[in-house]
Amino acid sequence: MLPDLLSDPLILAPPPRFAEGPLREVLARRFGLEGVLEPLGGERDRNFRLTPASGGLPLLVKLAHPDEEPAVTDFQTAGLLHLEAADPTLPVPRVLRTTEGATAIPHATEDGRPSLLRVLTYLAGRPMTDPAGASPPMARALGGLVARLDRALAGFAHPADGRRLVWDLREAPALRALLPDVADPALRALVEAALDRFEAESAAFLAARPGQVIHNDLNPHNVLVEAAAPERLAGIIDFGDMVRAPRLQEVATTGAYLLRPGPDPLAAPGAFLAGYSSVLPLGEEETAHMPALIATRLAITVLITSWRARRQPENATYILRNQPGARAGLEWLMRSTLAPLQEE
């Protein structure tokens, strides 16, 4: 039996379709914006980059999926507005308003379903997907930036921040039902071992940590580096998986994507932890749980992407883009019996 979390229609729903003509009209009429629209990728929302005819900086046009609760879209918008006030120098998207001052307006999909239209600033840069981006110096810098983000979010609350989310580490035990969707027996065994370790050693500890709103999805596609200087961070994007959870979950989730093959795969996660702790210190006991929590995030990645790819074969390449790294990380972590993570 599948967990209730997977009954959410958004998990398998493709991004909605919108006719560009009406979209251009509403952007001009309500936002005073005209220019070239370029479609962008997206898991749930329909996204466009708008290059203004006036020659200004590009903008991001986001149209929420009609199945998404308006409160969740408002949660994302309110979070960005809070960050703008709490730490104006954080490199995150800014929310543009309509000529009447609204942060979101209704706009129908091609088939007439109601959606919410927002316009954000478009952060220049490229995703931190190059293996060099996981070097210890870059990871340490990212740790400091993420800690600044969490520090700025610490005072933020919203009615939708307690939502249940399939990508929440604390939900990992419920995802055992997806193990049959992992076709490779060896990979399935790795995932099961990681879940066993989480439930035996770390689940209760994580659940007892105090919570706050966190980004919760700092994978390399959501961290930008400067195109001309990839050793410098450019920004953080995609706040669609925000949730109220322990800060330890933020650190483990980000650390899971920094593992790299080599003599010390935990070098970059350790550097990230050091950078994070220089702004928001973590205790020794929290640090001790990090390898098991990182393995749990990797296991969740394998489970959810395997389940979705089998049901959406036409989008399998996009869905499975993070699975090779997740497998490699799990293989190393489980082979090394989850060696302690050391701050550098």
**Residue ranges per domain, the chain?**
4-121, 126-335
Grade residue 29 by pLDDT with cuts at 50, 70 and 90. very high
Grade residue 3 by pLDDT with cuts at 50, 70 and 90. low
Percent above pLDDT 70 for the chain: 94
Q: What is the tens place of the pLDDT at every residue in 41-98?
A: 777 889 999 999 988 899 999 999 999 999 999 999 999 999 999 999 999 999 999 9
- Please give the biggest Cα pair distance in the chain: 59
Q: pTM of the full predicted structure?
A: 0.92
Decide if pLDDT at 343 tops 70. no
> Residue 113: how many CA atoms within 13 Å on its side-chain side?
12
Which residue stretches of 264-315 are H helix? 267-277, 284-288, 290-311
Grade residue 210 by pLDDT with cuts at 50, 70 and 90. very high
**What CATH architecture does domain 4-121 belong to?**
2-Layer Sandwich (3.30)
Grade residue 313 by pLDDT with cuts at 50, 70 and 90. confident
Place of tokens 């996660």: 269
Q: What is the tens place of the pLDDT at every residue in 135-161?
A: 899 999 999 999 999 999 999 999 999
Percent above pLDDT 90 for the chain: 73
Q: Domain 126-335 classified CATH 3.90.1200.10? A: yes
